[in-house]
Amino acid sequence: MRFDILTLFPEMFASPMGSSILKRGQETGAFEIALSNIRDFTDNPHRKVDDKPYGGGPGMVMMCEPVFRCFEHVAEQGPKPGRVLLMTPQGRQYDQKMAEELSREERVVIIAGRYEGFDERIRDGLGAEQVSIGDYVLTGGELPAMVVVDSVARLLEGVLGDEDSAKDESFSNGLLEYPHYTRPENYRGMTVPEVLLSGHHKNIEEWRREKSLERTKAVRPDLFEKYKDNSKYQENNRE
């Protein structure tokens, strides 16, 4: 899989995308990241990429020209991008379902902006989907772009060490994960729940499911309500 990232700050990606699991994933060829600097595609002598908003108001707006030209340059290389994402707090909220969809694409283009926002014609002209990573405001779309790459890359074959570790986790089944423990059994008087030391796999599985439900209900009632509508839960909890 190939990610193309259009940004004014390609250097921001070096360490987060070049470390640990994502580093190895690129070395083994599971995916590649191609960074393009939007500023390389300006047509004015000052390499200006933003301008004042029509109608007035605070902040600056990302101009069409460098973003269109950068996108066209990128799109010319290789297969047609399956999805084009424009990272903005005005977008639809990113979630695990979208990560799973993206992981089935051969090529995804992610546009990260700075400033107050993008000229609206960028979204229209490039057929881009506006995507947000949550209800808070960041200084730019670079961290959100990295969030997308990380969450998609770890779903690709050969990226995570243990093939099973992407299956049993929070959100993949609609619930938050159960609590984990490792050695020692007693740490400063805090002990590991007995059932986990029992070796009784069915009881352990049951305990984890209970904890998972309990935790989701307490911390994420929204997820819990969604899960309750799910047939599996209803089957297992019929009177």
Residues lying near ligand 6GU in the complex (CB under 6 A): 87-89, 132-134, 136-138, 140-141, 144
> What residues pair up with 4 in beta bridges, in sequence order?
34, 109
In the bound complex, what is the minimum distance in angstroms from residue 59's beta carbon to ligand 6GU?
12
**Cβ(31)–Cβ(2) below 8 Å:** yes
Q: Quickly count: other Cβ atoms within 10 Å of residue 41's Cβ.
A: 20
**Cβ(115)–Cβ(61) below 8 Å:** yes
**Nearer of residues 70 and 87 to ligand 6GU, judged by Cβ:** 87
C-alpha triplet 175, 143, 6: angle, nearest 5°: 120
**Nearer of residues 54 and 136 to ligand 6GU, judged by Cβ:** 136
In the bound complex, what is the minimum distance in angstroms from residue 141's beta carbon to ligand 6GU?
5
In the bound complex, what is the minimum distance in angstroms from residue 181's beta carbon to ligand 6GU?
33
**Nearer of residues 12 and 175 to ligand 6GU, judged by Cβ:** 12
**Nearer of residues 62 and 213 to ligand 6GU, judged by Cβ:** 62
In the bound complex, what is the minimum distance in angstroms from residue 108's beta carbon to ligand 6GU?
15
Q: Cα–Cα distance between 109 and 195 in angstroms, integer? A: 47
> What residues pair up with 118 in beta bridges, in sequence order?
62
Q: What is residue 76's DSSP assignment?
A: H
Q: What 3-state class would DSSP assign to 88?
A: strand
Q: Cα–Cα distance between 214 and 175 in angstroms, integer? A: 10
In the bound complex, what is the minimum distance in angstroms from residue 183's beta carbon to ligand 6GU?
38
> What residues pair up with 111 in beta bridges, in sequence order?
6, 86
**Nearer of residues 139 and 186 to ligand 6GU, judged by Cβ:** 139
In the bound complex, what is the minimum distance in angstroms from residue 118's beta carbon to ligand 6GU?
11
Residue that has been written with the tokens 């060490």 in this structure: 161
In the bound complex, what is the minimum distance in angstroms from residue 170's beta carbon to ligand 6GU?
20
**Nearer of residues 137 and 190 to ligand 6GU, judged by Cβ:** 137
Q: Please state whether the peptide bond connecting residue 10 to the residue before it is cis, i.e. omega within 30 degrees of 0.
A: no
Residue that has been written with the tokens 């093939």 in this structure: 163
Q: Which helix (H) or strand (E) holds 112?
A: strand 107-112
**Nearer of residues 108 and 213 to ligand 6GU, judged by Cβ:** 108
